[in-house]
A and B are shown apart, each in its own frame.
Chain A
Amino acid sequence: MNEATRNSYRTGPDERGHFGIFGGRYVAETLMPLILELDQAYEAAKADPAFQGELKALHATYTGRPSPLYFAERLSAHLGGAKIYLKREELNHTGSHKINNCLGQILLARRMGKTRIIAETGAGQHGVASATVCARFGYPCEVYMGATDVERQKPNVFRMELLGAKVHPVTAGNGTLKDAMNEALRDWVTNVETTYYMIGTAAGPHPYPAMVRDFQSVIGNETREQMLAAEGRLPDLVIAAVGGGSNAIGIFHPFLDDPDVRIVGVEAGGHGMHVYNGHAASLNGGKPGVLHGNRTYLLQDDDGQILEGHSISAGLDYPGIGPEHSWLNDSGRVTYVPATDQEALDAFQTLTKVEGIIPALESAHAVAEAIKRAPTMAKDEIIVVNLSGRGDKDVFTVGKILGVDL
């Protein structure tokens, strides 16, 4: 191993799926043979030019990649500091970054000979992307979604149904993403021989965190090239919202070994970090534990029972975070900060009014951090914000809070 490799932040995980103490494979024995098979199948696919070629071709004509890197000139002027660029993942087919991962995983599921797809979803973006690729490739699709989320993300539920998926509302717990993931795991244990579990974020047992990161790294790889073309240099600051953390690891990973690029992940601060169980900021308000197949930072009580957490954004309303983010947090390479529901709502409205772009409430957390930081930075400094999803799905939620009856 040469010096450059040893100093890299990009070589993880190890062969057992560990990023430092985080990651791993904490699953029921029933699933282990399949998890090991998945690991081998993914390693083979990753090295297969035909697999990568098919994915690239689909991205070009089906997803609409590369997604643009847009200079938000009016927002930059409005804030009076750094130049802000938006990586326009919200323009992808299905309206978010989730399609990047789903296309990769459906090709893998087909390669493995699986005949049925299951997925969990919070905001419904991953559920819609899963249902979409299942329609495109002719697979039956069943999506587990917390009953609370079914209620607050109705447009996405209907989209999934139109795409031919069956949506199972999950009433256990608080009826949010954590409970949906439990139920998807129960389905998987029951139907492991036929079923491919399409996990939507860079979490779960190895190889999911690394695999989902790899599929999402197309975001950061494009951003690098586009930024070099636009400005002739790398950005000073990259910002992304973090729930499970797939859009964030996707844009962060290609920049991890560029020491001059500061990287900030924005967690859901909910009602505020001082409110017990009132936020979904695992790194800022949790501690390491084991859930859903990996060790990572979790919101939990003193007895190791998992808390539900809260966020205005269904996609960030999860008590854990991908294990690589936990490692990047502890290693100090990435800084993770919270943004409250109110800050996200304000950012949602600002971006909509100033740039004519309605962001997803998830992505609005990243915009909120840019709004805080840009005025403190010089005019020749550059921020890139990953605009991971569009906000059409959130207009009912936002309308309700603003007192508008839709």
Chain B
Amino acid sequence: MSSLPVTRIDTRLAKLKAEGRAALVTFVTAGDPDADTSLSILKALPGAGADIIEFGMPFSDPMAEGPPIQAADIRALAAGQTMVKTLEQVRAFREGDNETPLVLMGYYNPIYIYGVERFVSDAKAAGVDGLIVVDLPPEEDEELCLPAIKAGVSFIRLATPTSDDKRLPVLLRNSSGFVYYVSVLGVTGVKSAAAGDVATAVARIKAHTPLPVMVGFGVKTGDQAAGIAAHADGVVVGSALVNAVRDSLVDGKATGATVKAVTDLVADLAAGVRRGRA
């Protein structure tokens, strides 16, 4: 790990560690509900309290997502979102923020069709710090993980309740940035884990890696975030934020309340993360 260059992710997480608090990792879908509003949301996230941003690359068939993110992907694609636009939005975000780590998250096919070499090069140039690709397990590392690392983009792996002590070393190999612990069996945005189970799982993962461990799935409120933050290096929230987008729409279109709906929830979550270890 020490041979890798210091990235925005490493710098940010080291700073939070020094402050003695957990990170808030926020997920929103690129292009949801439309390109302009999505960029406004993206730009507003750090000010509202997001420490790391996961920006979802929408896909027609998001097999591991529950209804909220499925719907967000459909909204974004219906509004004309493409991979080119997603990377343009990252570039526009970077013009005003050179510190907040940004991770692209999604499924492999749109990357494969864009072209792996072109993708990692364009993503790096746009200011992307890491990738989370749900349907690329370590068995397929040659596809994207190794080219991404070579280009200086972190490859962040999901660990799950099925990742036992035999599996963890396999999935942690070639992973960098942080580990995203999927705290329940299931799709996004449905169930949430008990704090005690999270503590046990985080300890088990940390026995295998020096990487920080972020915990997600089913976190909807500041209080839940506080509960998770007590036991993990960070808390990931996604479905609740895209539901905030959804609930602000009128006839499927963004309103004056859309960006604020997201930032209000982020502020609540950020407060929760900050009192988690108080």
**Option from A24, A27, A33, A291 in Cβ contact (under 8 Å) with B167:** A33
How many A-B pairs with Cβ below 8 Å?
112
Q: Does A25 contact B (CB under 8 A)?
A: yes
Query: In the complex, are the beta carbons of A305 and B110 less than 8 A apart?
Result: yes
Taking CB atoms, residues of chain B closer than 8 Å to A302 are 113
Q: A275–B211 Cα gap in the complex (Å)?
A: 51
Give the segment of B34-42, B59-67, B256-264 that binds chain A. B59-67
CB contact under 8 A between A30 and B160, given known A303-B110, A305-B59: yes
Give the distance in Å from the alpha carbon of A314 to the alpha carbon of B173 in the complex.
Answer: 43
In the bound complex, residues from chain A placing their C-beta under 8 Å from that of B151 are: none
Q: Which of A360-383 contact B (CB under 8 A)?
A: none
Residues of B within 8 Å of A186, CB to CB, are 63-64, 66, 186-187
Query: Binary interface profile of A, 22-40, with partner B (CB < 8 Å = 1, else 0)?
Result: 0011111111111000000
Q: Mark B121-146, 1 if CB is under 8 A from A, else 0.
A: 00000000000001111011000000
Q: What is the minimal beta-carbon distance from A297 to any residue of chain B, in angstroms?
A: 12
- What is the distance, in angstroms, from A319's C-beta to the closest C-beta of chain B? 9
Tell whether A29 pairs with B137 under 8 Å between CB atoms, given A182-B63, A300-B113, A304-B110.
Answer: yes
A192 to B186, CA, bound (A): 9
Assign chain B's interface to a size class.
35 or more
Q: Are B109 and A306 in contact (CB under 8 A)?
A: yes
Given A33-B162, A192-B162, verify A26-B114 contact (CB < 8 Å). no
Which residues on the A side are within 8 Å of B167 (C-beta)? 32-33
User: In whole angstroms, how far apart are the Cα atoms of A291 and B60 in the complex?
Assistant: 10
Find the residue from A27, A290, A298 having the highest chain B CB count within 10 A: A290
Measured CB to CB, the closest approach of chain A to B247, in angstroms, equals 20
Instruction: Decide if B134 touches A28 in the complex (CB within 8 Å).
Output: yes
- Report how far A293 CA is from B139 CA in the complex, Å: 12
Cβ of B70 under 8 Å from chain A: yes
Residue among B83, B110, B113, B163 with the highest chain A CB neighbour number at 10 A:
B113
- Residues of A300-330 contacting chain B, CB below 8 A: 300, 302-306
A interface, by DSSP: helix, strand, loop or mixed? Answer: mixed
A305 touches B137 (CB 8 A): no
Report yes or no: B112 in contact with A290, Cβ–Cβ below 8 A. Answer: yes
Cβ–Cβ contact B109 & A289, under 8 A: yes
Instruction: Decide yes or no whether A60 CB sits under 8 A from chain B.
Output: no
Residue of B nearest to A179 (CB): B61
Chain B positions 12 through 41: 1 when the CB is less than 8 Å from some CB of chain A, otherwise 0: 000000000000000000000000000000
Chain B contacts for A30, CB-based, 8 A:
64, 158, 160-162, 182, 185
- Would you list which residues of chain B between 153 and 192 have a CB under 8 Å from chain A? 157-164, 167, 171, 182, 185-187, 190
Q: Which of chain B's residues have a CB closer than 8 A to the CB of A293?
A: 135
Bound-complex Cα distance A47 to B134 (A): 33
Query: How far in angstroms is the closest Cβ of chain B from A86?
Result: 36
Least distance between B175 CB and chain A CB atoms (Å): 11
Interface residue? A185 (CB, 8 A): yes
B101, chain A: closest CB distance, angstroms: 21
Q: Are B112 and A29 in contact (CB under 8 A)?
A: no
Answer whether residue B237 sits at the interface, using C-beta atoms and an 8 A cutoff: no
Q: Which residues of B contact A31 (CB under 8 A)?
A: 162
A25 touches B185 (CB 8 A): no
What are 15 A-B pairs at a CB distance below 8 A? A26-B140, A27-B137, A28-B134, A29-B157, A29-B171, A30-B182, A31-B162, A182-B61, A182-B63, A186-B66, A289-B112, A303-B83, A304-B111, A304-B113, A306-B60
Query: Residues of B with Cβ closer than 8 Å to A?
Result: 59-64, 66, 70, 77, 82-83, 107-114, 134-137, 139-140, 157-164, 167, 171, 182, 185-187, 190
Q: A16-B139, A29-B159, A304-B83 are known; give 7 further A-B pairs, CB within 8 A.
A: A29-B162, A29-B171, A30-B182, A32-B139, A186-B186, A304-B112, A306-B109
